[in-house]
């Protein structure tokens, strides 16, 4: 099955961009995913191809018009008529993108991504067309295109057959709610710095235990927010298991 990506943008020439090379580029050539970059201006109604207007209530900048956005989204949906693709607008006001959401998207038929520019979108588009708002972090980009490229890159690498070793997808940061453990490679000693002894021991159980511990320590130190969530989920599943056992015993 081909994963369909449609991107609505004022700069279609930015696509496939970095997705035209390496893993994603090869996967596209092999038909594992397809890309349609849709020019938002093609859905303007006037001869100047206007897509934006001044903000209601005043203020700086311009806002993307809801009627133009709706026509572009309807077009992208119609083009994928035999599948229902989720529509995602890239916006700093959206829900932060997670690996779990990426995994869900990659398991589906594809995605329609809408890239904002200027001050962003007329708010009415989200409810009117069931558009999910997604942010790639607490930063402000000048446009949604780099954010869309990030989202698509994260999805594409998870498509079946895109990555070499299947474990490289499942052992990575965020897959189990933790950051990944640190990596090393040859030379064994460099500028007086060595590789942890355990990684050279050949003892797979010890290596796995070391990696698990590193992963937990690094997450606790670097991302206390992730660690708290991880611990919360662990405590919850342990108390759920105890409850189930009690119910069975009674
Ligand atoms: N006025 C908006 C605000 O303060 O929330 C920022 C608009 S930004 C200059 C223009 C466009 O860049 C946005 O509509 C969005 O598509 C994209 N963008 C900027 N930062 C983003 C982020 N963190 N995540 C996803 N998209 C982003």
At residue 169, the pLDDT reads 62
Separation CA 70–CA 147 (nearest Å):
21
In this structure, the residue with its CA closest to atom 8 of ligand 1 is 142
The first and second tokens of residue 85, run together, are 């693709």
At residue 240, the pLDDT reads 79
Instruction: Name the DSSP class of 131.
Output: P
Distances (CA, A) of 5 to 79, 97, 106: 11, 17, 11
List b or e across 8-31, with b for residues whose CB sees 16 or more CB atoms inside 10 angstroms: bbbbbebbbbebeeebbeebbeee
| pLDDT tens sequence for the chain (250 residues) | 899 999 999 999 999 999 999 999 999 999 999 999 999 999 999 999 999 999 999 999 999 999 999 999 999 999 987 889 999 999 999 999 999 999 999 999 999 999 999 999 999 999 999 999 999 999 999 999 999 999 999 999 999 999 987 655 677 889 889 999 999 999 999 999 999 999 999 999 999 999 999 999 999 999 999 999 999 988 888 877 777 777 767 6
DSSP helix/strand/coil, 150 = helix
Neighbours of 179 (CB within 10 A): 21
DSSP helix/strand/coil, 247 = helix
Q: Which of 40, 57, 144 to mutate to test the pocket of ligand 1 (most atoms within 8 A of CB)?
A: 144
Instruction: Name the DSSP class of 127.
Output: H
CA of 222 to the centre of ligand 1 (A): 26
Are 99 and 175 a contacting pair, CB within 8 Å? yes
At residue 82, the pLDDT reads 83
**Ligand 1 near 140 CB (within 6 A):** yes
At residue 237, the pLDDT reads 81
Separation CA 65–CA 53 (nearest Å):
7
| Phi-psi domain of 57 (left: phi exceeds 0; alpha: psi -120 through 50; beta: other) | left
At residue 166, the pLDDT reads 60
CA of 120 to the centre of ligand 1 (A): 6
The first and second tokens of residue 130, run together, are 């069931």
pTM over 0.85: yes
Which is it for the CA torsion 46, 47, 51, 56, positive or negative? negative
**Ligand 1 near 117 CB (within 6 A):** yes
Delineate the domains of the chain, giving CATH numbers in brackets: 3-156 (3.40.1280.10), 172-249 (1.10.1270.20)
The 10s digit of each residue's pLDDT in 101-147 is: 999 999 999 999 999 999 999 999 999 999 999 999 999 999 999 99
**Ligand 1 near 135 CB (within 6 A):** yes
CA of 28 to the centre of ligand 1 (A): 27
* Residue from 107, 222, 211, 120 nearest 159 by CA: 107
Separation CA 3–CA 112 (nearest Å):
11
Is the peptide bond between 16 and the residue preceding it cis, with omega within 30 degrees of 0? yes
**Ligand 1 near 90 CB (within 6 A):** yes
Separation CA 99–CA 174 (nearest Å):
6
**Ligand 1 near 147 CB (within 6 A):** yes
Separation CA 17–CA 50 (nearest Å):
26
The first and second tokens of residue 136, run together, are 């790639």
* Residue from 59, 51, 58 nearest 143 by CA: 51
């Amino acid at each position: 099955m081909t994963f369909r990506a449609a991107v609505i943008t004022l700069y279609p020439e930015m696509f496939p961009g970095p997705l035209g090379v390496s893993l994603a580029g090869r996967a596209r050539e092999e038909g594992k995913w397809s890309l349609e970059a849709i020019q938002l201006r093609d859905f303007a109604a006037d001869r100047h191809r206007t897509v934006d207007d001044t903000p209601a209530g005043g203020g700086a900048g311009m806002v993307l018009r809801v009627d133009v956005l709706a026509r572009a989204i309807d077009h992208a949906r119609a083009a994928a008529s035999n599948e229902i693709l989720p529509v995602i607008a890239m916006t700093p006001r959206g829900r932060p993108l997670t690996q779990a959401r990426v995994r869900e998207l990659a398991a589906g038929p594809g995605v329609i991504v809408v890239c904002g520019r200027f001050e962003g979108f007329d708010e009415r588009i989200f409810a009117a067309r069931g558009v999910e708002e997604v942010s790639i972090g607490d930063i402000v980009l000048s446009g949604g295109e780099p954010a869309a490229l990030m989202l698509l890159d994260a999805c594409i690498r998870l498509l079946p057959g895109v990555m070499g070793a299947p474990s490289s997808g499942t052992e990575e940061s965020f897959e189990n709610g933790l950051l990944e453990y640190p990596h090393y490679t040859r030379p064994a000693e460099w500028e007086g710095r060595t590789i942890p002894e355990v990684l050279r021991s050949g003892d797979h159980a010890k290596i796995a235990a070391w990696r698990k511990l590193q992963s937990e320590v690094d997450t606790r130190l670097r991302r206390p927010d992730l660690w708290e969530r991880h611990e919360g989920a662990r405590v919850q599943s342990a108390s759920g298991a105890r409850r189930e056992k009690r119910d069975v015993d009674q």
